[in-house]
Structure 1
């Protein structure tokens, strides 16, 4: 049987204009492809040597993965050559990457490794926990996609809520992880659509309604005017108000801001969550806060706030660790600020975003709010802002009972 396997890049880019890597199986000039779940820019592919160029930030990791995949495929191909001389390239692929016995945990770990390679460490942390919950429930690392049916998932959800003490939203997040892995497995032809346990007449993913509560104008004013705060409380207040004044910038982005991100009265930065480029006018209130930290500035590359000063940005895990520590510490002092201001609502970094939405209400158009919130889709903005718009319902209630 004259056949071969080779790593190639396919010319079907994703939404980020990255191209998928695949194992090409060829016999008698006919080829089949097995996608391995990795995407790169075309400029990072060395076509002559069939490897990722060193210009890619994670070239060594990816090339190591590709060598492993090729070795696995060649080993399986040798076994097939001994068994059957008359077999097509598509049949070889079917045998190499069987759909019914592929292990869910093995495929999930490949996905987690991809998150690690791409430095999506926040997501990696939560999704490793989801996989850990599933392993505790399954009590074995042997689990095929075919075994994960509606009955299995219903039992798993019950386990999450009763044995792991998770609320409805957290349980749903665990199911979403399984759905993500299933969709990838179908995309890369590791399993079949017929085994998919989600959708109509199966498991439906539906988030429970949650109420987002933000501070009102008077409560913001209380925080701004509060006296007798410690230095650490003043620092926490500065960070929180800075975020609020700029439409609720996420904590991770606030901590990573540098002085050279501000130019011509505008803040220009890249969002940590999705690498979007953002530009916003710097309100006077935010500039005043920045000016109070000028004494710490040594170069234009310095951080505005000192939390990330000693982070090792060559080590993404260290950066994530310091962001989490800074967020915990800030929230600790925000809690004491709320007590002193006699505010009973929760006061955390994330509440700055809710507070902006609460005060904005229906006074700003959804399209403008979409820009301020940095949402990708208008529907996200409308759904989010619906938590804070009550005037129509309040007026309707008054018209009925005020007779």
Structure 2
């Protein structure tokens, strides 16, 4: 077929003056190029050996990628020749690009993001998009084969997240969960053999660090309840929304802001959780009635939102609802700082702390199965792990029994 492949540095620099690395496919003196997604300064290129010099910080990894791609290209060229297929250089490039595209981690990552967004899971979409963006920033391109995504790569990436990106150990674990998700999907689709799977025993084990959850005490919640005349209008509203969430076992802020007057009937509040679409029905505590009185005058209809944050948003536009809820949460948290200060509370007060506060006060007073129902957890194991942050009575008793002398 008179075709061959070679590694080259193309003479078309990008805006930074760096040149692209590529595999050149030549047939009958006509060439096409498969770009590997990396650009380098020309000073790092060894023209004689057709490889990246050791002076480049990622020389070993890029050279390994180059020679792997060259070997794969030559193998496929040989297969085409064996099949007696007479392709032009451009057609060969197209044929090779199909498999190259399918084996790219970012291709499947983008498909995942599109599906999540299509399902109106904008919270998940925002987080997973950030994970994919971190990987792109780390390797400085959008091409990453699954074979290159091995244990060594992941361990170096963890060091990058820890030392350069300065993220927490919990966030690092979440990054790995995202990578594992896409890798598993690639295995199911036959894009990579399971033997290259970098996770599991004797490989990369994802460990979530223990995190301390801080909640308010009964006395501190009482201080917030007693704050009435010393608050601005905005602070009073933030206090109301926080207490509304707390009184209903720590309903998440996204669900609180979506509450409508029509969700309240038979002295109960009924809603569908935005996180997992579970249908929830809770008895309306008497303390909630006092909060609702503050907003009853602004009710336009039974289908109107109880709280004002989403009143001007098109209820059919999930993206707008998500964005406005996120902004509303940020604004409420800013006013909750003032509420905490005026109440004499030194702990950090945010909307999410309402959920922790309920757990802290519940402690080990309520059966774990009942707490599971109140929290709307799918598994009682999740409830046990969550509540373990607040169940201190037995350990306190044990400690005091030793020191009581």
**Same fold at TM > 0.5:** yes
Q: How does 1:389-400 map to 2 (within 5 A)?
A: 389-400=391-402
**Structure 2 CA distance, aligned partners of 1:292 and 1:162?**
49
The 3 A distance-change label for structure 1 pair 136 and 293 is: same
Find out whether 1:358 has 2:368 as its counterpart: no
Stretches of 4+ aligned residues off by more than 4 angstroms: 82-85, 95-101
**Structure 2 CA distance, aligned partners of 1:191 and 1:156?**
21
Instruction: Give 1:269's match in structure 2, choosing from 249, 268, 271.
Output: 271
- Which of structures 1 and 2 has the bigger CA Rg? 2
2:194 aligned residue: 193
SS of structure 2 residue aligned to 1:369: helix
Deviation string 1:32-67 (CA, Å, 9 cap, x unpaired) is xxxxxxxxxxxxxxxxxxxxxxxxxxxxxxxxxxxx
**Structure 1 CA distance, aligned partners of 2:126 and 2:272?**
22
Q: How does 1:4-403 map to 2 (within 5 A)?
A: 83=83, 102-226=103-227, 227-403=229-405
Deviation string 1:132-188 (CA, Å, 9 cap, x unpaired) is 110111122221111111110000010111111112111221111101111111222
Q: TM-score, normalised by structure 2?
A: 0.75
SS of structure 2 residue aligned to 1:146: coil
The 3 A distance-change label for structure 1 pair 100 and 255 is: closer
Deviation string 1:179-199 (CA, Å, 9 cap, x unpaired) is 111111122222221111011
Q: Is the 8 A contact 1:256 1:303 kept in 2?
A: yes
2:62 aligned residue: none
SS of structure 1 residue aligned to 2:389: coil
SS of structure 2 residue aligned to 1:335: helix
Q: Is the 8 A contact 1:258 1:303 kept in 2?
A: yes
Q: State which drifts further: 190-199 or 215-224.
A: 190-199
Q: Is the 8 A contact 1:100 1:145 kept in 2?
A: no
Q: TM-score, normalised by structure 1?
A: 0.75
**Structure 1 CA distance, aligned partners of 2:376 and 2:109?**
30
**Structure 2 CA distance, aligned partners of 1:263 and 1:200?**
52
**Structure 2 CA distance, aligned partners of 1:115 and 1:100?**
21
CA shift at 1:315, angstroms?
A: 2.3
| Unmatched tracts of structure 2, length 5 or more | 1-78, 86-95
SS of structure 1 residue aligned to 2:292: helix
CA shift at 1:97, angstroms?
A: 8.1
Q: Is the 8 A contact 2:101 2:107 kept in 1?
A: no
Q: Is the 8 A contact 2:217 2:357 kept in 1?
A: yes
Aligned residues: 315
Q: Is the 8 A contact 1:302 1:309 kept in 2?
A: yes
**Structure 2 CA distance, aligned partners of 1:231 and 1:291?**
15
What do you get for the CA RMSD once the two structures are aligned?
Answer: 2.0
**Structure 2 CA distance, aligned partners of 1:127 and 1:101?**
20
| Unmatched tracts of structure 1, length 5 or more | 1-78, 86-94
Q: Is the 8 A contact 2:272 2:278 kept in 1?
A: yes
**Structure 2 CA distance, aligned partners of 1:210 and 1:269?**
30
The 3 A distance-change label for structure 1 pair 301 and 84 is: farther
